[in-house]
Amino acid sequence: MSKNDNSKKPRNKLRETLADTLDLPKEIIMDIPKLTLIGNNEITIESHKGVIQYSSERIRISITGGELIIDGRGLIINSILPEEITIYGEISQVSFED
C-alpha cells in the first residue's frame, strides 16, 4: 500500500465516526455514492464524479474510489446534474471497479 492509501484510512474512519455520532448520512460525510434502483428500469446515482463511457448497452461512471458500471439494453441518461445522474433502460447488471 502506498503512503496515500494508509493516510486515507484513519480519515475515512474519522468521517464514519462523525457521521454516526451526528446521525448524518454517511454518503454525504464520506463522499461515497448512493444508488437508488427502481426495479430493473431506473437507477439514480448520487455523489458521482462524471461519465466515463456512454452507450445504449454500458454506462461507466466515475465515483470516489473507482467506477460504477451499469450494463443493460436501451440505456439512456435521463438527467445529469453536478451531484446526481438518473439512467433509464433495461438494467441487467450494476458493478463496482477499483
* Same domain as 42, residue 6: no
* Domain harbouring 78, CATH code: 2.60.40.2000
* Same domain as 93, residue 52: yes
- Give 72 or 98, the one with higher predicted confidence: 72
The dihedral sign for the CA sequence 14, 16, 20, 25: positive
Task: Give the burial class of 67: count Cβ atoms within 10 A of its Cβ; 0-12 exposed, 13-18 middle, 19 or more buried.
Answer: middle
Separation between Cα atoms, residue 87 and residue 94, nearest integer Å: 12
**In the predicted model, what is the mean pLDDT of residues 3-18?**
62
- Give 48 or 27, the one with higher predicted confidence: 48
Q: What is the mean pLDDT of the chain?
A: 86
DSSP helix, strand, coil percent of the chain (3-state; round to 5)? 25, 50, 25
C-alpha cell at 63: 465515483
- Over pLDDT 70: what percentage of the chain? 73
Q: Could you list the residue range(s) of the whole structural domain that residue 41 is in?
A: 32-98
